[in-house]
Amino acid sequence: MISTMSDTKQPVRPEEALAKMIASLKEKTGKDLNEWKDVIQAAGWSSHGEIMSGLKGTHGISHGYANQIALKSRETPSADSIDPFEEMFAKRPEAKSIFDVLLPKIEQFGSDIDNAPKKGYLSVRRKKQFAILQPAAGRLDVGIQLKGIEPTGRLEASGSFNAMVSHRVRITKTDEVDDVLVGWLRQAYEAAG
């Protein structure tokens, strides 16, 4: 029998796995996150270790669930409401205008692209990360994973910029988002599949 479905599974992003874990709290532990927050507050637990010990010892919660409850219970409410892109580009309008031109070009490579905002940059992934887009003063730094390609001209070695990519291109104007840059990114995208 010939299968029309791919036998390879797409990797689950850690953010997605944690969201599923939090969504299944009621089923797995008998209480949802807000109910656990009430329990923690009523018990007077404040530190991560104190919350973990209480949840595991008093309520028999597994380590993984106790850890996620402890982490989520200590988050500041405003942290969830901040748009990661707004925060990333708040003081970098030049980088945002370049980003707005570049990202749609990258997203045209394929429907399997996953954009994962991180603290201070955007991770662009396929099966693995192939690029990062990081705002900097007056520019957008584009990190590209191109193993085996010699740095040349504006395609510089990443050096201390970011160990997760092999090269960096510093873009200061939207017209520098050209076919050459898009070609390097496409090459990295194809290698990440």
Q: State whether 101 and 184 are in the same domain.
A: yes
pLDDT in tens, 51-75: 999 999 999 999 888 888 988 888 7
Q: State whether 99 and 46 are in the same domain.
A: no
pTM of the model: 0.60
Q: State whether 96 and 129 are in the same domain.
A: yes
Give the domain range for residue 63: 14-80
pLDDT in tens, 82-139: 667 778 888 898 999 999 999 999 999 999 999 888 888 999 999 899 999 999 999 9
Is 155 inside a domain boundary?
yes
The structure tokens 């510093």 sit at: 170
Q: State whether 103 and 181 are in the same domain.
A: yes
